[in-house]
């Protein structure tokens, strides 16, 4: 059970000064996010969670940056790469555990999958089962403090 190895220590920390810098930071995370992983992306609206996924998906050669868009309405976007299959999930509009069940996220989890979940902390089960938490905090108009814990 990967969840049991989570120690919650800070693995990486950075302050970025533009969306481009956040994407570049996302590109450095492939080793840390080697599958299988369940990753929670935490942060307010507009913090940069989706922006970070652009870099992660590009580095895994699963999608071009510009093809990564917010799964706000579709809830799950899938990007398949040679080393990992990324599932970018946005639970902002998912309100109950029952609605969460209908997404069947457990069925997406296998050796090659990396689940990148925005607003997953709304559900204690996901918070508990996550392997890595990436928190993004607005520190100014274009400044974002980003920390990676696992
Ligand atoms: N340093 C930065 N890092 C990331 N994004 C930044 C930064 N500075 C400015 N931005 C801008 O902030 C916005 C971040 O939007 P993004 O969709 O990534 O946020 P989000 O956390 O996914 O929000 P939501 O919860 O609504 O999905 C973008 O418009 C981006 O250009
Ligand atoms: Mg988003």
Ligand 1: nearest atom to the Cα of 90: 27
Provide the pLDDT for residue 8.
Answer: 87
Model confidence at 86: pLDDT above 70 = yes
* Structure token digits, residue 72: 């706000």
Sequence-distant (6+) residues with CB within 8 A of 114 are 33, 35, 36, 37, 39, 56, 60, 84, 85, 86, 87
Ligand approaching nearest to the C-alpha of 51: 1
Residue 88 phi/psi, 5° resolution?
-100, 120
Q: Which residue's alpha carbon is at the smallest distance from atom 10 of ligand 1? A: 19
Q: Is 51 in the pocket of ligand 1 (CB under 6 A)?
A: yes
Model confidence at 118: pLDDT above 70 = yes
Q: Of all residues in the chain, what percent carry a pLDDT higher than 90?
A: 93
Q: Which residue's alpha carbon is at the smallest distance from atom 8 of ligand 1? A: 142
Provide the pLDDT for residue 1.
Answer: 52
* Structure token digits, residue 141: 């108009």
Measured distance CA(116)–CA(118) in Å, rounded: 7
């Amino acid at each position: 059970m990967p969840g049991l190895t989570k120690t919650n220590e800070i693995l990486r920390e950075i302050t970025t000064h533009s969306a481009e810098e956040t994407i570049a930071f996302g590109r450095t995370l492939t080793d840390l996010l080697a599958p299988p992983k369940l990753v929670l992306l935490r942060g307010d609206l507009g913090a940069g969670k989706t922006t970070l996924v652009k870099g992660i998906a590009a580095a895994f050669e699963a999608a071009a940056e510009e093809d990564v868009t917010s799964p706000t309405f579709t809830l799950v976007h899938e990007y398949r790469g040679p080393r990992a299959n990324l599932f970018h999930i946005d639970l902002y509009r998912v309100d109950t555990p029952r609605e969460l069940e209908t997404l069947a996220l457990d069925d997406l989890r296998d050796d090659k999958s990396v689940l990148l979940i925005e607003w997953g902390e709304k559900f204690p089960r996901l918070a508990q089962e996550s392997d890595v938490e990436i928190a993004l905090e607005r520190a100014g108009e274009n400044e974002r403090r980003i920390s990676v814990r696992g």
